[in-house]
Chain A
Amino acid sequence: MSIWKYANPVVFMRTSGWLLRWLVPLTAVLMVVGLVWGFAFTPPEMRQGTTVKIIFLHVPSAMLGINAWLMMLVASLIWLVRRHHVSALAAKAAAPVGATMTLIALITGAIWGEPMWGTWWAWDPRLTSFLILFLFYLGYLALWAAIEDPDTAADLTSVLCLVGSVFAILSRYAVNFWNQGLHQGPSLTLMQKQHVADAYWYPLMICITGFILFFVTMVLLRTRTEIRARRLKALLARERMG
């Protein structure tokens, strides 16, 4: 009994199908409860007023924006080392979700920044590196879309994901360095989770859990779609032959 059992598409389809039956309602409940609680039943913060509530969208999506890339990195490595097709397809399935999460984080950040910082966009290190991460997602997606042969595409995007990860980390620190000399960037205090009052802490945790489950659900669903699409292609090819 090992984890590689799930690399078999048949086993994967059966297991993920069973999982999804529970994941979909659970995700829906958690997200609805977390977001409604967060938006409607938390008190406005003393200095930030009601704008603080965007935290319930911003923080989970930002976390997933980064972690989706990490998941793609792991999946790419598994594909390169063990050649499990499900792994390559999972990386492909995760990319648009991760890109969307990054975009949501950027947009909600801008919406929050306008009343708080007085600007939609500042070249703050954190903001800048997130924008660069988004560009990496775009390149990765474009490479998948450009190559016809699925195995070649999986190989090349995996290599790109590995190299991209190294350069994304490099960029993160380079950007930190780059802004130091210019001005003291507006500091994001959102990440000090210990300092968040309980009234925000509980709905935030529910939101984060909901977003993580949402990501898992989406990746499973999209991977299943990819597997079905590939089966369909194989069937059609067989029919043409016969």
Chain B
Amino acid sequence: MIALLIRDLKLALRAGGGFGLGLAFFLIVVVLVPLGVGPESATLAVIAPGILWVAALLACLLSLDRIFALDHEDGSLDLLATAPIPLEGIVSVKALAHWITTGLPLVLASPVLALLLNLPLAGYGWLVLSLALGTPALSVIGTFGAALTVGLKRGGLLMSLLVLPLYVPTLIFGAEVVKRGAAGQAVDVPLLLLAGITAGAAALLPFASAAALRVNLR
């Protein structure tokens, strides 16, 4: 399983893997918002938590179809499915690799982008923490969406339609943490709920993803 993780990471890092694309997309969305909304820093400070979370979510979504599509095309997914490790484990590792290549850079880059959006100083720590807790859930849920649509020719748009409603609870709690943190309120309730969603999704969704993969590989 560790070998698979390293393989996936290598594939993503080398040329054509699209490692930085999600990050660049995150940056562009965050830059576009002030251009559309206007440069008043008071307005930006209010919407910053929501924008940062929505941008992170879209950046995650962008790279989801890579999780299984390439492996499906060259047949290595079939080999993985017949490997002696359970498919649920493979799915989890794939989600982890996706998080390391997409979610983690977003978490690390988010304070810089929060600066652009004039997020109140008190919110920075909560932003990083909420993204660190929440983006794994985005990867796991996204892996489920990718597993559902892996056999389809043009599954990308369909996958967005399937995955985005599933992202609703994560988005709500994640943005709420930042919003409350920036306003100096207590954040423990949304933070715990966010962590709960991540933990629950990471524990249960791989079974659904593996089931969907088995159907698609049948």
Contact = CB atoms under 8 A, between A and B. Distances in A.
A164 B166 contact: yes
B148 A159 contact: yes
B164 A174 contact: no
B193 interface: yes
Interface in B160-218: 161-162, 164-166, 168-169, 172-173, 176, 179-180, 189-190, 193, 197, 205, 208, 211-212, 215-216, 218
B158 interface: yes
B53 interface: no
Interface size class on chain A is 20 to 34
Contacts of B193: 174, 177
Contacts of B205: 163
Interface string A148-173: 00001001100110111001101100
Given A146-B155, A152-B215, A177-B176, A167 B168 contact: yes
Contacts of A178: 172, 176
A156 B216 contact: yes
Contacts of B18: none
B218 A170 contact: no
A234 B128 CA distance: 57
Contacts of A159: 148, 208, 211-212, 215
B95 to A, nearest CB: 14
B151 A143 contact: no
A155 B165 contact: no
Contacts of B151: 147, 152
A190 B208 CA distance: 38
A135 interface: yes
B144 interface: yes
A29 interface: no
Given A143-B162, A147-B152, A163-B166, A156 B172 contact: no
B215 A177 contact: no
B172 A175 contact: yes
A159 B180 CA distance: 35
Contact of A156 (B168, B173, B180, B212): B212
A174 B155 contact: no
Contact of A170 (B152, B169, B208): B169
Nearest to A153: B215
Contact of B169 (A143, A146, A167): A167
Given A146-B155, A160-B148, A138 B161 contact: yes
Interface in A113-166: 132, 135-136, 138-139, 142-143, 146-147, 152, 155-156, 159-160, 162-164
Nearest to B218: A152
B154 to A, nearest CB: 9
A25 interface: no
B152 A146 contact: yes
A143 B158 contact: yes
A156 B215 contact: yes
Interface centre among B193, B205, B211, B218 (most CB of A within 10 A): B211
Contacts of A143: 148-149, 158, 162
28 contacts: A132-B168, A135-B164, A135-B165, A138-B161, A139-B165, A142-B158, A142-B161, A143-B148, A143-B158, A146-B152, A152-B218, A155-B211, A156-B215, A156-B216, A159-B211, A159-B215, A160-B148, A163-B144, A164-B166, A167-B168, A168-B165, A171-B169, A171-B172, A174-B168, A177-B189, A177-B190, A178-B172, A181-B179
Given A155-B212, A177-B176, 9 more contacts: A142-B161, A143-B162, A152-B215, A155-B211, A156-B216, A159-B211, A164-B165, A167-B168, A171-B168
Interface of A: 132, 135-136, 138-139, 142-143, 146-147, 152, 155-156, 159-160, 162-164, 167-168, 170-171, 174-175, 177-178, 181
Interface of B: 144, 148-149, 151-152, 155, 158, 161-162, 164-166, 168-169, 172-173, 176, 179-180, 189-190, 193, 197, 205, 208, 211-212, 215-216, 218
